[in-house]
Amino acid sequence: MWNEESDWIGSFDSQLARLAECRMCSRDRGERPDATGMDLEVLEVAEEGSYGRVFRCLDIHTGALVTMKQITMVRLSQGVPAPIIREVSLLKELHHANIVKLLRVGLTENRYVNLVFEHLDYDLHHFIVNRGYPKDALTVKSFMYQILSAVAYCHSLKVLHRDLKPSNVLIDHSKRLIKLADFRLAGEFADDLLYTEKLGTSWYRAPEILCDSRQYSTQIDLWSVGCIFAEMVIGQPLVQAINCRDELEGIFKLLGTPTEETWPGITKLMPNLHIYYPKFDALGLETFVTDLEPSGLNLLSMMLCLDPSRRISAEAALKHAYFIDVNYVSLLLL
Amino acid sequence: MPSSSTMPLSPDPPFLCADEAAIAGLLDAEPHHMPEKDYLRRCRDRSVDVTARLDAVNWILKVHAYYEFSPVTAFLSVNYFDRFLSRCSLPQQSGGWAFQLLSVACLSLAAKMEESHVPFLLDLQLFEPKFVFEPKTIQRMELWVMSNLKWRLRSVTPFDYLHYFISKLPSSSSSQSLNHFFSTSSNLILSTTRVINFLGFAPSTVAAAAVLCSANGQLPLSFHDRVNDEMVRCCHQLMEEYVVDTCPASVKARITEPAPPSSPVGVLDAATCGSCDTPSDRNFAGPPNKRLRSSASDAPQR
């Protein structure tokens, strides 16, 4: 194994240190911020996950609150993890009012990648669970319009988010502003990145993904947005299951078990469909989502359409009658 | 183990057909994903080691073919390589290890951007390289490359334009002809990575020229109002000189015949690397008056 420590390769670390855009100090360790050498002061650990930690920090130069995601690079055999590369390079190209801003990328000791984002108050999951879900219809409408604007923008750039759920929708409370976050699983339409990592919950996953389809596109994001829409209205996830099979069963109970007529190609995709799942008649969305105006229910049904080819696009959804008064809503809330 | 042929990109599903707005966005973005403006001049005056560059590109293309990566992966690897070298210099007296380390890091990054299955870093280092690098060393190089490229790895490539440009051709209606144009153009685009002169052209220009080559002279009215037809003609001329003229006979036949290729061997064995005065897209002073020949000193030794 060749690993010569020449002057040049030895200068890697100093080169990286010079290129690294953020350094930190911590109150906990009693270190005083040095304006010349430190950019961020860690206030608290906001979250710990398998990939690393999330800190709430203070930008020493501007006094602004920022969020820093510190990702640990452990699997050296793979080098820098692909999800980090994808997320950062993607965020470098996405510029939209409803997508979280990546402010800086930094490196620490060659073991961590630090992603510094603008700070938002909380996520939609927290908003629904802890603060009482957005009970007024205008807030729901405004939030939905903003989510769809961000998704339509991503899709126009051939980018799928692939992991839309309330915890990945951030909220600036004072401005009633919504921003999409966590693009770790995002990628282009054309790539064959399957949902190999079945991470997290399946509650927001489109039925074609739950059926292990390799042919999926923008429609998977619209299903997730539909699930978020319903959850904002009813205050809890529309279908909650402990695994993919139960999730599909819950969806079929709600919308009816698909047939070749309602979802062309389903028997090829799931040859054993009628062995594993009874033939449910649709209970209907209106049974569960009761506090939604008719145009909203219509839009929701177009998002939560089992057949991906008939599911509404983000661009078309923005033009739906449900949003006819959205400019008024925006003026009122933003 | 996969064969060593070049895998063409399969045409994307219908929903991927780019519209005018998407193409305009790509044209706006492409200057940000190209090497620095003086890089081609530095390659020509040998302040960049073009022999080491060619060795690195050849190695990237061989590993790419071995693992049957998509053509985009190979193109991105070379794009990162050139963008890095246009901003940073590597030690000249290193016995070639610095260039080799850079090429491993660039291929690894591109594979992570594009491929669903990425080999381990040790498994990427194929074809008896002079040096084998530890994963930790490659990781540090990856970080250095990404930092230098400002983490902008979603480069615009000629492949982003192919469907749109092919749709402009008079005879691109059947799926068979689409497949033919796409695979032939893809192979031509890949083969340009070996030739420093193509660094002077924007990805859109390279794509348009490749489509012209594969279409055997069928000219669309215009590819796009923001794509300079003179630049395309000049790039097309270079392509015919350096890429098509040096292809194996079977490949040349494949390029001129309308039937789709039976196997996508491509033009990876083309002898290339010339020193002709390719106009840069950024300061184009008109096409050259004569067909350009590579000088003996620049032609790689067979």
Q: Which two tokens stand for residue A55?
A: 């800190």
Q: Are residues A129 and A169 in the same domain?
A: yes
Q: Is the pLDDT of residue B293 over 60?
A: no
A residues 140-169 closer than 8 Å to B (CB): 156-158
* CATH number for the domain that contains residue A56: 3.30.200.20
Residue with tokens 């879900």: A133
* CATH code of residue A312: 1.10.510.10
pLDDT of amino acid B285: 36
Between A76, A79, A89, which is nearest B151 by CB?
A: A89
The DSSP code for B267 is T
Q: Are B97 and B131 in contact (CB under 8 A)?
A: yes
SS3 B34: coil
Round the average pLDDT of chain B to a whole number and report it.
75
Does the beta carbon of B93 lie under 8 angstroms from any beta carbon of chain A?
no
Question: Are A190 and B12 inside 8 Å of each other by CB?
Answer: yes
Distance CA A146, CA A330 (A): 10
Judged by CB atoms closer than 8 Å, whether chains meet at A89 and B15 is answered as: no
pLDDT digits (tens, 9 = 90+) for B161-175: 987 898 877 765 566
For residue range B170-228, what is the model confidence (pLDDT) as tens digits? 765 566 677 778 888 999 999 999 899 999 999 999 999 999 888 866 566 577 878 88
| Domain span holding position A130 | 122-332
Does the pLDDT of residue B290 top 60, yes or no?
no
What tokens appear for B260 in the block?
Answer: 């789709």
Sequence-ordered list of residues with C-beta below 8 angstroms from that of B46, at least 6 positions apart, any chain? none
Point out the residues of chain A with pLDDT beneath 70: 1-38, 50-51, 74-76, 108-111, 131, 133-135, 176, 184-185, 188-201, 214-215, 274, 327-334
User: Are B141 and A12 an interchain contact pair (Cβ–Cβ within 8 Å)?
Assistant: yes
- Examine the domain organization and report whether A270 and A318 are in the same domain: yes
CA distance B295 to chain A (A): 34
> A108-135: per-residue pLDDT in tens?
655 678 889 998 888 998 789 875 766 6
Same structural domain, A34 and A159: no
The span from the CA of A146 to the CA of A151, in Å, is: 9
Q: What is the C-alpha to C-alpha distance for residues B110 and B202, in angstroms, rounded to an integer?
A: 19
Is residue A309 located within the same domain as residue A179? yes
SS (H, E, C) chain A: CECCCCHHHHCHHHHHHHHCCCCEEECCCCCCCCCCCCCEEEEEEEEECCCEEEEEEEECCCCCEEEEEEEECCCHHHCCCHHHHHHHHHHCCCCCCCECCEEEEEEECCCEEEEEEECCCEEHHHHHHHCCCCCCHHHHHHHHHHHHHHHHHHHHCCEECCCCCHHHEEEECCCCEEEECCCCCCEECCCCCCCCCCCCCCCCCCHHHHCCCCCCCCHHHHHHHHHHHHHHHHCCCCCCCCCHHHHHHHHHHHHCCCCCCCCCCHHHHCCCHHHHCCCCCCCCHHHHCCCCCHHHHHHHHHHCCCCHHHCCCHHHHHCCHHHCCHHHHHHHHC
User: Which of A2, A72, A162 has the most B C-beta neighbours within 10 Å, making it the best mutation to test the interface with B?
Assistant: A2
> A58 and A181 in one domain?
no
A192 in the same domain as A131: yes
Q: Are residues A15 and A146 in the same domain?
A: no
Tell me if chain A has a CB within 8 Å of the CB of B32.
no
For residue A193, the chain B residue with the least C-alpha distance is: B116
Assess whether A178 and A52 both reside in one domain.
Answer: no
- C-alpha B105/C-alpha A80 separation (Å) is 10
Higher pLDDT, B290 or B138: B138
Domain boundary among A86, A118, A150: A118
| Model pLDDT, residue A31 | 39
Inter-chain contact B135–A76, Cβ cutoff 8 Å?
yes
- How close are the terminal C-alpha atoms of chain A, in Å? 59
Q: Are residues A157 and A285 in the same domain?
A: yes
A129 shares a domain with A79: no
Q: Which of A163, A172, A246, A325 is catalytic?
A: A163
Domain boundary among A89, A118, A147: A118
- Confidence (pLDDT) at A127: 84
**Does one domain contain both A95 and A76?**
yes
d(CA B9, CA B6): 10
Residues A87 and A111 in one domain: yes
| Most A CBs within 10 Å, among B19, B114, B124, to test the A interface | B114
Query: What pLDDT is attached to residue B103?
Result: 93
Please give the domain boundaries of chain B with CATH numbers for all domains. 37-155 (1.10.472.10), 158-271 (1.10.472)
What pLDDT does A25 receive? 55
Domain count, chain A: 2
The residue out of A81, A99, A118 marking a domain boundary is A118
pLDDT by residue (tens digit) across B243-260?
A: 765 544 434 444 443 333
